[in-house]
Amino acid sequence: MEFELNPGNTAWLLTASSLVLLMTPGLAFFYGGMVRGKSVLNMMMMSFSAIGVVGIIWAVYGYGLAFGADTAGGFIGNPADALFLKLDDGEWWGAADTGVPALVFAGFQATFAIITVALISGAIADRVKFVTWLTFAVLWVTLVYTPVAHWVWGGGILAAGPIVDALSLPIDFAGGTVVHINAGAAGLALALVIGKRKGFGTEPMRPHNLPFVMLGAGLLWFGWFGFNAGSELAADGTAGRAWVNTLLATCVAMLAWMATEKLRDGSPTSLGAASGVVAGLVAITPAAGTVQTEGALVIGLVAGVLCALAVGLKFKFGFDDSLDVVGVHLVGGLVGTVLIGFFATNGEYGSFYFEGSLNGLFYGGGAIQLVTQVVAALIAVVYSFVLTYGIGLLLKVTLGWRVTEQEEVDGIDLAEHGETAYEANSTIAEVR
Amino acid sequence: MKLVTGIIQPHRLDDVKSALEAAGVRGMTVSEASGYGRQKGHTEVYRGAEYTVDLVPKVRIEVLVSDEDVTAVTDAIVGAAQTGKIGDGKVWVVSVDDVARVRTGEHGDAAL
């Protein structure tokens, strides 16, 4: 196919990429506000460092692994296809048929890989060595993110082959399986490998700066319009559909989380509103371009209520998923991915037609798409959990994950970064 | 000489300061404190996890006064800090052996 540049689509995708990149600093604030004041810098650094590590890996070989030609039976892409992003405009790279140059698409996808890694850090707050985290980021994006991205978006086993032939094409518009289920299952695995913070469940660990959390949620919401509407890879009506759904599902989820809190705890909280925003964004991600307005509203409602209930599970089961990566991203990702099986519409009112997929149960397509969605979600959960558990164990016996107990008590900011966030007025003994 | 210490609700500080100035007090020390008396604390809920916050924010105000001013100063603090609700705080008085003004080296009442 002859490549023909479409400046409008290209301009939108460059803009959307910048929006998505802003989500990771936004996440740093969202997460940073939720931890105690003695570990806010480490929490924010885990997000910022993910930009550094993953950005480079993506350019050197990661993009090829995810989007290169099928190798190993559709398990992974061929990294040799895109080493150091030596790409020609005319090559087929996902967005070529909408007139977007390969390099622009590669940049857009880099921002997705970055935030997926950063999301995991919420499960392991306050207690891990920074070097081990950086090493984890390298291993995880290579061994877990790129295969799953390849399966779903790069032409791999969830885009073509026996599963698709037997059922139908799984729908993941912007990253429900690749990003959120993937990060959520990884967060659960790491929280189990690394263990609880000292004092988890007995000492108070309340968020130290809720305005940071609100600021972060706002930046995430803003950036998410690039994430979802950008995933159309074109500036058209379906991008508008994704944009509107990203607004509406999030509106409902925020209110639903607050209502759940009002009924259960007595007060609608700012932390609940911010969490509801993120839960709604997560859930609508896979469905953004493929459901209509009523679908988006229901997805937001279910995500807001279910995630608000799910964040209590860690206390019940005794795992320290510190900032609820499981309760928000795994549960929210599953809600969106599975509800597509009820609400998918192909090509109506601006929704996108995934060739090979079926309408959802409520739109005359029968139950096959629902089964397909469940199967795709389960594959992502199992693969991410098992691989991440293995990587976690490997790092545990080699580099070691935990800082010492005393360092954890004193605050990881001081131990790992040699600085503190809020003690600028404390006496400095000597200037050297 | 006496040291008058008052633990009051933070939002009463401005009124207490005005009342002390009106009573002729020319200096004081104010610090942020936390504590509880009969009102105990309150409950906060974060993502469904309940925390009992028993130490609530208070302001501690300290004034050094001569013996004859003690009653007026104590009454000024009580009058201005009072809202009639549980948690208004306490004021107490202790005797002070000596006071020195750092700038001049004066001692006793002259240093007040």
Domain ranges of chain B: 2-111
- Give chain A's mean pLDDT: 94
**pLDDT surpassing 80 at residue A91:** no
Helices (H), A181-209: 182-194
Share of chain A above pLDDT 90, in %: 86
pLDDT per position as a tens digit, A272-290: 999 999 999 999 999 999 9
pLDDT tens, position by position, A14-64: 999 999 999 999 999 999 999 999 999 999 999 999 999 999 999 999 999
Q: Give pLDDT, residue A4.
A: 87
Confidence of residue A133 (pLDDT cuts 50, 70, 90): very high
Beta partners for residue B6, in sequence order: B61, B91
pLDDT of residue A1 exceeding 80:
no
Can you give the pLDDT at residue A128? 98
Cβ–Cβ under 8 Å, residues A179 and A140 = no
Residue A264 contacts B where some CB pair is shorter than 8 Å: yes
Average pLDDT over residues A323-330: 97
> Under a CB-based contact definition with an 8 Å cutoff, are residues A13 and A21 in contact?
no
- Rounded mean pLDDT of A71-96? 83
Q: Coil, strand, or helix at residue B26?
A: coil
Out of B44, B48, B50, whose CB is closest to A311? Answer: B48
The CA distance from A164 to A171, in Å, is 11
Q: Which amino acid is at A424?
A: A
Q: Given B44, B48, B51, which is nearest A312 (Cβ)?
A: B48
Asked if pLDDT for residue A425 goes beyond 60, the answer is no
Q: What is the distance in angstroms between the Cα of B33 and the nearest Cα belonging to chain A?
A: 18
pLDDT number for residue A432: 67
Touching check for A269 and chain B: CB below 8 Å? Answer: yes
Provide mean pLDDT across the span A181-210: 95
Q: CB under 8 Å to B83, separation ≥6 — which residues?
A: B9, B12
Asked: is B2-111 a CATH 3.30.70.120 domain? The reply is: yes
pLDDT of residue A94: 66
Say if residue A107's pLDDT is above 70.
yes
Percent of chain A scored above 70 by pLDDT?
Answer: 96
Range B54-68 average pLDDT: 93
CB contact set of A257 (below 8 Å; sequence gap of 6+) = A272, A273, A275, A276, A279, A304, A305, A307, A308
Q: Is the pLDDT of residue A302 over 80?
A: yes
The gap from C-alpha A30 to its chain's centroid, in whole angstroms, comes to 14
Domains and CATH numbers, chain A: 7-431 (1.10.3430.10)
Judged by a CB distance cut-off of 8 A, whether residue A316 touches chain B is no
Contacts of residue A100, Cβ cutoff 8 Å, sequence gap at least 6:
A6, A9, A10, A13, A233, A234
Whether A272 and chain B come into contact, CB under 8 Å, resolves to yes
Q: What is the mean pLDDT of residues A154-161?
A: 92
B-chain CB neighbours of A214 within 8 Å are: none
Q: Does A267 touch chain B (CB under 8 A)?
A: yes
Asked if residue A426 has pLDDT above 80, the reply is: no
Q: What is the mean pLDDT of residues A297-322?
A: 96
Please enumerate residues of B whose Cβ is less than 8 A from a Cβ of A.
44-51
Q: Report the mean per-residue pLDDT for chain B.
A: 92
Confidence of residue A386 (pLDDT cuts 50, 70, 90): very high
**Interface contact B49-A272, CB threshold 8 A:** no
